[in-house]
Chains A and B, each alone.
Chain A
Amino acid sequence: MNEPTLALVNPEYHGLSRIADRAAWALIISGMGIVLIYWLGNYQTYSVLTFLLSMVLITTGALWLYLLRYRRIPAGIQNNGIWHDGFTSRGIAGWILSLVLTGFYIILYWFPHVIGYGENGNSGLVKLFDPLSYFLKGSRASQWFVYGVLYTWTILLMGVRFIIKYRHVKYQQWRTLSVIFFQVIFAFLLPEELTSLNLPFNDFKNIWPLNYYFFFSWHIDEMILHGTFGYFVLFWGIICVVVLTPVLTYFFGKRWYCSWVCGCGGLAETAGDPFRHLSSSTLRSWKVERWLIHFILIWVVLMTVMVLFTGWTGRAEFLFLNSYKLSQWYGFLIGSAFSGVIGVGFYPLMGSRVWCRFGCPMAAILGVWQRKASRFRITSNGGQCISCGNCSTYCEMGIDVKSYAQKGQDIVRASCVGCGICSAVCPRGVLRLENASVDIHQRGEIIRHNKI
Chain B
Amino acid sequence: MSVVIIGNGIAGSTAARSIRRHSNAEIIMISEETEYPFSRTALMYIFMGHMKWDHTLLFEKSFWKKNKIQLIHAKVNRIDTSTSCITLSGGENLSYDQLIIATGSNPVIPEQHWIALRGVQCLYHRADLIQLEARAQCGIRHAVIAGGGLIGIELAEMLHSRGIPTTFLVRENSYWGNVLPEEESFMISRHIRSMGIDLKTEEEIDRVEGLTDVQAVITKKGEKINCDFVGITMGVHPQKKLAVEAGIECNIGILVDEYLRTSDEKIFAIGDCAELRRPAQGRRAVEAVWFCGRTMGTIAAANICGQRKQYKQGIWFNAAKFFNIEYHVYGYVPVRDDTTESLFWMDDAGIRSIRLVYDKQSCKILGFNLMGIRYRHELCEFWIENQTNLREVVTHLPLANFDPEFSDSFEIEILQKYNQQFNDQAFLLADRRLDDVAKYIRQKQMQ
Contact = CB atoms under 8 A, between A and B. Distances in A.
7 contacts: A4-B167, A10-B164, A79-B48, A282-B60, A390-B51, A428-B326, A433-B404
Interface string B45-76: 10011111001111110100000000000000
Nearest to B435: A436
B261 to A, nearest CB: 23
B224 A81 contact: no
A171 B161 CA distance: 26
A84 B49 contact: yes
A251 to B, nearest CB: 12
Interface stretch (A18-26, A100-108, A293-301, A379-387): A379-387
A435 to B, nearest CB: 8
A49 interface: no
Contact of A5 (B198, B290, B374, B441): B198
A79 B42 CA distance: 14
A304 interface: no
Given A390-B45, A446-B441, A384 B328 contact: yes
B163 A447 contact: no
A228 interface: no
Interface in A58-72: none
B223 A4 contact: yes
Interface string A167-189: 01111011000000000000000
Given A9-B196, A381-B374, A383-B377, A429 B50 contact: no
B91 to A, nearest CB: 34
A433 B382 CA distance: 22
Interface in A273-330: 282-283
Contacts of A450: 382, 386, 441, 445
A424 interface: yes
A423 B166 contact: no
Given A436-B438, A446-B438, 18 more contacts: A3-B142, A8-B198, A81-B161, A171-B404, A174-B406, A381-B402, A383-B377, A384-B319, A384-B328, A386-B42, A386-B319, A387-B39, A388-B39, A389-B45, A393-B50, A432-B403, A433-B405, A436-B433
Contact of B223 (A1, A80, A403): A1
B165 A6 contact: yes
Closest 6 CB pairs between A and B?
Answer: A382-B377, A76-B324, A429-B374, A436-B434, A170-B406, A9-B165
Nearest to B37: A387
A82 interface: yes
- Range for the number of chain B residues in contact with chain A: 35 or more
A315 to B, nearest CB: 50
Interface in A385-444: 386-390, 392-393, 400, 403, 406, 420, 423-425, 427-430, 432-438, 442-443
B262 to A, nearest CB: 25
Contacts of A425: 50
A76 B323 contact: yes
B209 to A, nearest CB: 13
Interface string B294-317: 110000000000000000000001
B360 to A, nearest CB: 27
Given A4-B198, A74-B194, A436-B433, A390 B382 contact: no
A237 to B, nearest CB: 30
B408 interface: yes
B282 to A, nearest CB: 19
A256 to B, nearest CB: 13
Nearest to A88: B49
A386 B290 contact: yes
Contact of A283 (B60, B160, B164, B195): B60
A165 B196 CA distance: 20
A15 interface: no
Given A83-B49, A428-B319, A11 B407 contact: no
Contacts of B163: 10, 12-13
A74 B195 CA distance: 8
A428 B320 CA distance: 6
A447 B385 CA distance: 11
Interface in B131-146: 142
Given A8-B198, A438-B435, A83 B41 contact: no
Nearest to A171: B404
A9 B143 CA distance: 11
Contacts of A379: 434
B113 interface: no
